[in-house]
Structure 1
Amino acid sequence: MEFLELIFGKIGDLTWGWSLIPILVVFGAFITIATGFVQFEYFGRMFRVLSNKNNSGDSTQISAREALLVSVGGRVGGGNIAGVAVAITLGGPGAVFWMWAIALVGMATSLVECSLAQLFKRKTDEGYRGGPATAIIHGLGADYKWLAVVYSVCLIAAFGFGFNAFQGNTVAGAVQDSLGIDRLWTGIALALLSGFIIFGGIHRIAKASDVVVPIMAVGYILMAVAVIVLHISEIPAVIASIVKNAFGWEEAVSGGMGAAIAQGLRRGLFSNEAGLGSAPNVAATAQVRHPISQGITQAFSVFIDTILICSCTAFVILLGDVYVPGAEGIDGVTLTQQSIVHHLGEWAQYYLTAAILLFAFSSIIYNYYLGENALTFMTRSKPALIVFRLAIMGIVFLGAVAPAATSVFFFSDPMMGILALVNLLAIMMLFPVAMRLLRDFRTQLKDGVDRPVLNPDEYADLDIDREAWSNAGR
């Protein structure tokens, strides 16, 4: 076991330690420039997905809005509550600025990776399936199947198994600390509820997210808005502190500007997952008229995760007196919890517990679907799928009742690092195709088409599933 931990530790150092974050930042900046700042160009269109009239109207398929909510439910998790607090503790207020910066850049990366997943999706009996593995096979060719398999194995290991154990642990710990309920009962309830949702497949996952995600996101944002209103006169000073610390004009922690950049970029990328290759699996399930439409929707998901929800946590912390720049002691979820209590009173800790529970549960069903999608790419065996679903229930339960058991999943972060590198490699190789899609989308808008439609005949040279796009213009 020690040997394995050493190996995966080295992999983690080689990916997250020095290579992956710079690559994500540089590549994200390249995509932003090469696409003409597409995330800002279509920012107004992002909000159209919230309206039912812009969805397909086919109740048998996953709508664009449902795909958005599933992805938001997955991106938004403990990182938005505890991760932001850690970033501020280690990097100072300036870390928030760099979280914003990487989110704005990541919106373009997410748009491209999710548009490609949409283009190469396949129609199945359960609906549409796709993602980076499918895009690799059908976009790059069968010679790259090994790369798609590496991606799928990493996706199952990191998201399907590892992160679900951590989410179960997060929920059980929060419930025990706030309500005094034993971890065993929380584990049983969480495993059974997760099982009920995941055994219904992507359609039940989408319906559950359509209910859970708006409640958790809007509820958390309203709480932050209440705090901001109470301290509205202090907002300019907080924003000034964020900017000053971001550029080293005001040092809040040791390391100054370097610490702010490192923590802000790292926590931002972990939170919004742009470029990591996870969200495209969900993006491919939606029935849309044009791949870029879903790309725009998933860019909006990054915006919601970081610019809105992470900012909520940041302002709650920075507007209070609990956080002391450079001081050691309180950090993580405890810092967020005590900051909320400082602003709104003791009842707010129970509110936060409910938020953590919803955030974690939405992440569990999202993580499960990523694992399921990777599994179905490698095998269509129904018994294998049933075993996988039961295994997820067991892992969630184990993570909840035995906190130390999560140490078994030490491979999660390194595997996600490999996953991200494979995904970025595929995006780089398929980027000309993404630009072709974007030009098509822009041309249609310029010609007065309000809702651009993909014409499969114009992509006859690509291995796309024409049946998956036969109803694009319906």
Structure 2
Amino acid sequence: MNTTNESWLAALNTGLSSVVNAINGVLWGQVLVYLLVIVGVYFTVRLGFIQLRQFKHATQILKSGREVDNGLSSYQVFCTSMAARVGTGNMAGVAVALTVGGPGAIFWMWLIALFGMATAFVESTLAQIYKVKDIDGQYRGGPAYYMEQGLGQRWMGSLFSVFLIIAFGLVFNAVQANTITDALSHSFGFNETITGVVIVAFSAFIIMGGLQKVAKASTSIVPVMAMGYLLIALIIVVMNITELPAVLALIVKSAFGWEEAAVGGVAYTVAQAMQSGIARGLFSNEAGMGSAANVAASATPNPNHPASQGFVQMLGVFVDTLVICTASAAMIMLSGVMDQPDAASGIGLLQQALTNELGSWTTYFMAAAIILFCFSSIIANYSYAETNVMFLNGNSKKGLMAFRACVLGMVMFGSVASLPVVWNLADASMGLMAITNIIALVLLSKLAIKVIKDYETQLKQGKTPTFDRSKFPELEGLEHAWQESHAPAKK
């Protein structure tokens, strides 16, 4: 009987895995890649390549948005979104892109990030337009809110919230914990259960404090982990500076098939480079998926205009892909490890590159990087989910403690167990979440573009942009935070 049950469960698991893998193959291999690229190009054209024209202005806003009298600053929100964006995908994901698509994949990763900056701008601006205040006076918003208020479709917002809670709030946090315990177990022999308990304890300390504590922790962690990682990359680049022009040329040439790129005895086609680079780039920077927009709504922007936070969040895509992912690619390609017959795969390829260039001590550096990247993702992912739990509960904190307990339970589960089918289900959930968000972005794009152009018009007139909701009759009669004045930013 037991043997029969085990066989039945194994067959069920195999069947479920096949179905989920098929769904993910369609979602991530075809539908989402095309949708996100098309939407990114559309917003880029409609906004006149704003990510290039106003890049300098965006950096100025980020610099000036460090402090506010009340709520979260633009800088805190930027760091929180970066905490979620930057993870093992920036390391292992880049290695996979190079292995599957060759050097040309990096070019297509850059290109999709460029278009994704415009998409991130629009979704974050919409999140700001339709944000509301919760019972504690904290701003809340995101796709679920603009679906309910902008489109009048609460069911759509609820569906998005469920997808996000499953993916980011629960399963992806288990994945991040699993990555930490696996890395420490293999590198140093640490007990996975004990490591899991430590991760849960630190996670509980931060998430029990809500958005404010998550934002403060992210502001401390993100600059340290990003600068440390980029410093190591810069050292390797300097050590191999004479090889840099050739590597850059190879990336561009292989992206267009001008030079057949053969690495480790494997030749790559333009199609392989495009598919791998675009898919990994989208997965890493999350532009258009609706995830980062949840925290973008929490900011008190400076200047006092919804588009202001759009500029800031646009930079998040740039830093994630064009800076950090590029750093990973540079370390791998300049080290020459891909041409070695014993080349590793995934994050092991990056570790091999670091060891070859700087020595075995980099094992400790990689362990530290994984811990910081993954832990920061856990707390930031929680913040996304918290906003959506509150949306489902009518913007109240009812059930929030129970949800926090579930998150911590999944962190512990992920620390000691690995169920690929569960992780694949989360990918499917995130894919459906992204499709739901893309539909809303397109339907609300007219208002978003109108608001962004209002900001630019005031800027051209030499004014500090402020938001006058009377210019936008679409917002009359709706509940949103712009019915009242924001607290002025500190000078």
TM-score of the two chains, using structure 2 as the length reference? 0.92
The equivalent residue for 2:252 is 243
The equivalent residue for 1:91 is 101
1:355-374 aligned within 5 A:
355-374=369-388
1:432-471 aligned within 5 A:
432-449=446-463, 451-463=464-476, 464-465=478-479, 467-468=481-482, 470-471=484-485
1:24-35 aligned within 5 A:
24-35=36-47
The answer to whether structure 1 residue 304 and structure 2 residue 311 are counterparts is: no
> CA–CA distance in 2 between the matches of 1:387 and 1:466?
28
Write out per-residue CA displacement over residues 46-95 of structure 1, whole angstroms, 9 at most, x where no aligned residue.
222442x434521x301000000000111100100101001001111111
1:208 paired residue among 195, 199, 217: 217
The equivalent residue for 1:154 is 163
The equivalent residue for 1:136 is 147
The answer to whether structure 1 residue 274 and structure 2 residue 284 are counterparts is: no
1:340 paired residue among 346, 354, 361: 354
- Residue 254 of structure 1 and its aligned partner are, at CA, apart by 4.0
The equivalent residue for 1:174 is 183
The equivalent residue for 2:87 is 77
- Residue 310 of structure 1 and its aligned partner are, at CA, apart by 0.2
The answer to whether the 8 Å contact 2:106/2:277 transfers is: yes
The answer to whether the 8 Å contact 1:64/1:297 transfers is: yes
Q: Which consecutive unaligned segments of at least 5 residues does structure 2 have?
A: 1-11
- Residue 435 of structure 1 and its aligned partner are, at CA, apart by 1.1
The answer to whether the 8 Å contact 2:91/2:347 transfers is: yes
Aligned length: 467
- Residue 457 of structure 1 and its aligned partner are, at CA, apart by 2.1
Write out per-residue CA displacement over residues 300-335 of structure 1, whole angstroms, 9 at most, x where no aligned residue.
00000000000000000000132128x685110100
1:360-399 aligned within 5 A:
360-380=374-394, 382=397, 384-399=399-414
The equivalent residue for 1:220 is 229
> Pairwise CA RMSD of aligned residues?
1.7
Percent of pairs identical after alignment? 43
The answer to whether the 8 Å contact 2:469/2:482 transfers is: no
The equivalent residue for 2:437 is 423
The answer to whether the 8 Å contact 1:290/1:453 transfers is: yes
The equivalent residue for 2:29 is 17
> CA–CA distance in 1 between the matches of 2:474 and 2:408?
43
- Residue 4 of structure 1 and its aligned partner are, at CA, apart by 4.2
The equivalent residue for 1:184 is 193
The answer to whether the 8 Å contact 1:454/1:473 transfers is: no
- Residue 120 of structure 1 and its aligned partner are, at CA, apart by 0.3
- What secondary structure sits across from 1:18 in the alignment? helix
- What secondary structure sits across from 1:471 in the alignment? coil
The 3 A distance-change label for structure 1 pair 292 and 382 is closer
The 3 A distance-change label for structure 1 pair 146 and 9 is farther
- Residue 173 of structure 1 and its aligned partner are, at CA, apart by 1.1
The equivalent residue for 2:333 is 318
- Residue 373 of structure 1 and its aligned partner are, at CA, apart by 1.3
> CA–CA distance in 2 between the matches of 1:466 and 1:101?
35
State the one-letter code of the partner of 1:433. Answer: L
The equivalent residue for 1:107 is 117
State the one-letter code of the partner of 1:265. Answer: I
State the one-letter code of the partner of 1:26. Answer: I
- Residue 178 of structure 1 and its aligned partner are, at CA, apart by 2.1
1:40 paired residue among 52, 56, 74: 52
> CA–CA distance in 2 between the matches of 1:389 and 1:28?
34
- Residue 181 of structure 1 and its aligned partner are, at CA, apart by 1.2
Q: Which consecutive unaligned segments of at least 5 residues does structure 1 have?
A: none
- What secondary structure sits across from 1:372 in the alignment? helix
The 3 A distance-change label for structure 1 pair 243 and 79 is same
- What secondary structure sits across from 1:137 in the alignment? helix
> CA–CA distance in 1 between the matches of 2:325 and 2:308?
25
The answer to whether the 8 Å contact 2:16/2:421 transfers is: no
State the one-letter code of the partner of 2:167. Answer: A
The answer to whether the 8 Å contact 1:94/1:244 transfers is: yes
> CA–CA distance in 2 between the matches of 1:244 and 1:341?
28
> CA–CA distance in 1 between the matches of 2:481 and 2:290?
25
The answer to whether the 8 Å contact 1:454/1:469 transfers is: no
The answer to whether the 8 Å contact 1:39/1:299 transfers is: yes
The answer to whether the 8 Å contact 1:67/1:286 transfers is: yes
1:54 paired residue among 65, 83, 98: 65
> CA–CA distance in 1 between the matches of 2:147 and 2:33?
22
1:276-291 aligned within 5 A:
276-288=289-301, 289-291=304-306
> CA–CA distance in 1 between the matches of 2:19 and 2:99?
30
- Residue 466 of structure 1 and its aligned partner are, at CA, apart by 5.3
State the one-letter code of the partner of 1:441. Answer: Y
- What secondary structure sits across from 1:448 in the alignment? coil
> CA–CA distance in 2 between the matches of 1:72 and 1:149?
25
- What secondary structure sits across from 1:311 in the alignment? helix
TM-score of the two chains, using structure 1 as the length reference? 0.95
The 3 A distance-change label for structure 1 pair 19 and 408 is closer
> CA–CA distance in 1 between the matches of 2:385 and 2:42?
30
> CA–CA distance in 2 between the matches of 1:4 and 1:120?
38
> CA–CA distance in 1 between the matches of 2:66 and 2:363?
37
State the one-letter code of the partner of 1:290. Answer: H
State the one-letter code of the partner of 1:121. Answer: K
